[in-house]
A = this chain, B = another copy of it.
Amino acid sequence: MKPAAVNRQWIYVERPEGELRSECFDLLRSEVPVAQAGQALVRVRAISVDPAQRAWMRAASYRPRLEPGEVMAAYGLAEVVESKTPDLQPGDIVEGDFGWQDYAAMSSGQVTRRDATQVLEHLVGILNITGLTAYFGLLDIGHPRPGETVVVSAAAGAVGCIAVQLARLAGCRVIGVAGGAEKCRWLSEELGVHAAVDYKAPGLREALAAACPQGVDVYFDNTGGDILEAALDLMNQNGRVVCCGAVSQYNQVDSGHGLRAGMPGVLVRKRIRMEGFIVFDHYAKRKPAEAVLLNLIHSGALKAPMQIVEGLQNAPQALIDLLKGRHRGKMMIRV
């Protein structure tokens, strides 16, 4: 396969105040980069769409803050098309932060080679950041025990929809919190949660309490905000709050230093216990985790719901939709 003449690049041009808008990005048609010695030229095949991308615009975290002028950052899967490093061969499938573009020149240290025989979508979702985040967050931070009650917020999202299933497989009573009756029905019928709570309906606290007659032992928090507060009220003694994300707050204007506003983002960003975590810290245990997840997928015990957006040109809208909760399961862009 020969590189095309053009490398489409989405440039992050403007820091959003509040909701992310398409005006924050410009599409540029650049030359395909040339791989230098030690580098390989890769063709991006699939791009992961993650709420964290909005958080990267806000502040430095495990990566520097995104700055206007840069190619919009994004994890993805790519195929090596040309190599000037002995570590990579044309046809290799690699993962890395390639950004929103068709091509990238990467050194071997910037990418991780993946098993090219795997389903590409699984390499983006269940066997990548979101699947592993659900796995390590639930099992290594949440420590669920059979018979315990586990609540997961943003349960219809990429991480949440794996977390609820893993919690069910671990023998727990599982409550998924999601926005809208349709998502709640889907969680119950497709993913087997014991109860689903619609946070957009009135009476969140009462509904969550009714769904958790024995209290909450593990709260897997993807949202922060009101749902976190409601869950905290219901936590049992020795309960564990897995601070995974705060998607309810990413699109908000910064609101000062109050604990209400700063929580739980500060825990997530700094990995302070309550317990905040970042999946990359657990990558030493990645291979056995992937083996468990793949085994569950192959046996049919675990579903890997996904939503595929076709075409790099739709990347900004995909992220905007994701942040508005207009998706179920893992959202990705096929390039």
Contact = CB atoms under 8 A, between A and B. Distances in A.
Contacts of A273: 240-241, 273-275
Given A235-B266, A237-B270, A266-B235, A258 B229 contact: yes
Given A274-B273, A274-B274, A259 B257 contact: no
B257 A260 contact: no
A267 B235 CA distance: 9
Give the interface size class of chain A: 20 to 34
A268 to B, nearest CB: 11
Q: Say whether chain A's binding surface is mostly helix, strand, loop, or mixed.
A: mixed
Contacts of A7: none
A139 interface: no
A332 B279 CA distance: 48
A233 interface: yes
Contacts of A163: none
Q: Which of A235, A241, A270 has the most CB of B within 10 A?
A: A270
Interface in A196-246: 205, 228-229, 232-233, 235-241
Contacts of A270: 235-239
Interface in A124-152: none
A236 B276 CA distance: 12
Interface in A268-287: 270-275
B266 A263 contact: no
A267 B267 CA distance: 14
A259 B258 CA distance: 10
